[in-house]
A and B are shown apart, each in its own frame.
Chain A
Amino acid sequence: MPVARTITQVHVESGTRFPRWRPGAWLLLVPALSAIGAVSVYPVLLGLWLSFRNTTLSSPDDAFIGVSNYQQLFADGQFWNAWGHTIEFTGASTLLETIIGLGMALVLTERFLGRGIVRAAMLIPWAIPTVVTSKMFGWLFDGQHGLVNYLARLCGLIHTNINWYGSPEFALPTIVIADVWKTTPFMALLLLAGLQTIPRSLTEAASIDGANPWQQFWMVRFPLLAPSLLIAAMFRALDAFRIFDLVYVLTGGGPADSTEVLSTLTYKNLFSALQFGYGSALSTIMFLTEILIAVGFGVFLLKRFREVKL
């Protein structure tokens, strides 16, 4: 003990910020890294392995079949159907949430009485469980007794009730609306954080130089906000791409597969059809797509940063 203490003291006195005790420090990471390894990393590898097998939980089939699952998948109309809906949903919800969120954030950058209350209220949609959100919008958009139909009739927007999520043409838009409701305020708070890092003196200077608010936004704030905006949109897109709860609870993928997305299709293949091999091929494709989205945004961001630096 005395020796150890002396060594520590020597390091502290010689200006070293930390005791040279690396194995000990790494030990503190072991519980966290082993939990993440066991529940995230190992299963992803196991899933990759399963995707090359014909494992079915309802039969004794469990053999290596090479890339057959992937061949079957690319020829599968249901896969492309779900793929299309997932892309539509991801694009529409990310775009709407970014634009409306930016609008909300711009309102909240102004100082006004009760701003704290508005900001607190915006956390409510984010805190509500997604399953509850699904049921809530199921009731709001109910085809017979929903409040939305009633209010739209009252305003004269429609003459007869719309069967929102019960009809193939309106079901996916209803899901987009529910997701936009739940996530936009959160997006706004993230963008607000980005906006507040832009010094007020810059917009004030622009205003003194005669820039109108529109010009102040597009020529001063927007270019400076662009990186945060892109990063927020990327995280949103990654999250939207794996949408499950909302679709599974509100429509279950129906009516007539019009809202089937990749996550719900994968889940059904896994836990209804018990096709663990084929389902794993589906989830592997989803995983690869997520990586592509992240890399795409990453490259775009890097390019932008380089341009700014030059």
Chain B
Amino acid sequence: MSASSAVPPTRRVVRPSITISRLLIYFCSVLIVIWSVGPFLWQLSTSLQLDRNLIGDQPSLLPIPICFDHFVNIFVAKSFQRYIFNSLVVAGVSTILCLVIGAVAAYALARLDIRGKFGVLGFVLAVSMFPQIAVVAPLYVLASNLGWLDTYRVLIVVYLALGLPFVIWVLFGHFRTIPTTLDEAARLDGARPLTIFFRIIVPIALPGIVTTGLLSFIAAWNEFMFALAFTSDINRQTVPVGIANFTDLHYVPWGDIAAASVVVTFPLVALVLIFQRNIISGITGGAVKE
């Protein structure tokens, strides 16, 4: 692509160099895909290999012979399903609450006449940047006084509050794009604000609400520090804590760890690939175009 200033950039002159830059772009995009997918594929392959192959002199990239021992092991010997159940409860309930409470707040901020709405939005954004380590100790004291340690409640409430700033900001953006004439028409028909919200705004913004919910579910599913600090019992510990505890002092069960990683990551990867268009516009504020 060297259109020198002396040569007018006609199609004939530019074409050969465009082919080279095409090749370069394809080369780079292959590198990006290997970067993004490679480590996960290696984890998948590891989860299907025999332990003695994993610690052999020469690693084999493909799982030959294939074995499912590690998957059996994590569910039978390590009760991994218990962590999955706990994570589903905590992430699921906190996401639903987060969506309901966050959507109502975002609606009020985007569509109703509230004095100081930008103050509220700025405050919410500032709170989302608090380092979480600064609240974990005081919350531990509060939770312990309430007898909430080792409960689902404490994690649900914490993830609800951590997810709210994101949900409010994203849904605020979504709701602002819906024409206000719809509200006005409904109001002429005598609808109250909450009726307008549930009957008009929510159905129109549903795709955006679902994506936002997916993103806050992923955040809650992946959270580690609070789960580590507030739970000490397998009956309440979530998946990240379970995987972190897979190690013992004498032997690292890499195969089992890989199997557990695949089990908890596979649904996320599938969801992300299905909803990728919506997710990208969700995290970039709708700015990435086709």
Contact = CB atoms under 8 A, between A and B. Distances in A.
Given A32-B104, A210-B3, A276 B137 contact: yes
A22 B193 CA distance: 11
Interface string A5-17: 1001100100001
Interface size class of B (residues with CB under 8 A): 35 or more
Contact of B32 (A35, A144, A185): A185
Contacts, number: 304
A4 to B, nearest CB: 9
A193 B26 contact: no
A238 B280 CA distance: 22
B276 A39 contact: no
Contact of A245 (B105, B194, B225): B225
A310 to B, nearest CB: 26
B266 to A, nearest CB: 10
Interface stretch (A88-96, A115-123, A168-176): A115-123
A39 B224 contact: no
B261 A122 contact: no
B239 to A, nearest CB: 7
Contacts of A8: 187, 190
B29 A129 contact: no
Contacts of A132: 43, 240, 243, 261, 264-265
B179 to A, nearest CB: 12
Contacts of A102: none
B132 A47 contact: no
Contact of A124 (B114, B130, B269): B269
A50 B138 contact: yes
A107 B29 contact: yes
A28 B133 contact: no
Interface in B33-65: 33, 35-37, 39-40, 42-43, 46, 54-56, 58-59
B130 A263 contact: no
A271 interface: yes
A43 B139 contact: yes
Interface in B100-127: 101-102, 104-105, 107-109, 111-115, 120, 124, 127
Contact of B193 (A12, A21, A108, A137): A21
A117 B138 contact: no
A52 interface: no
Interface size class of A (residues with CB under 8 A): 35 or more
A135 B243 contact: yes
A292 interface: no
A283 B42 contact: no
B133 to A, nearest CB: 5
B206 interface: no
Contact of B105 (A31, A115, A134, A286): A31
B180 interface: yes
Nearest to B139: A43
A69 interface: no
Nearest to A129: B222
B35 A238 contact: no
B40 to A, nearest CB: 6
B35 A185 contact: yes
Contacts of B129: 238, 290, 294
A139 B281 CA distance: 33
B200 interface: no
Interface in B214-231: 218, 221-222, 224-225, 228-229
Nearest to A271: B229
B244 interface: yes
Contact of B39 (A137, A145, A263, A270): A137
Nearest to B226: A39
B141 interface: yes
Contacts of B109: 29
Contacts of A270: 136-137, 140, 229
Contact of B108 (A29, A43, A184, A190): A29
Interface in A261-297: 262-263, 266-267, 270-271, 276, 279-280, 283-284, 286-287, 290, 294
4 closest A-B pairs by beta carbon, nearest first, are A39-B161, A210-B5, A193-B287, A193-B284
20 contacts: A17-B180, A21-B113, A39-B161, A40-B162, A41-B127, A46-B138, A122-B32, A125-B36, A127-B265, A134-B244, A145-B55, A181-B35, A193-B284, A208-B9, A242-B132, A248-B224, A266-B133, A267-B133, A287-B130, A290-B129
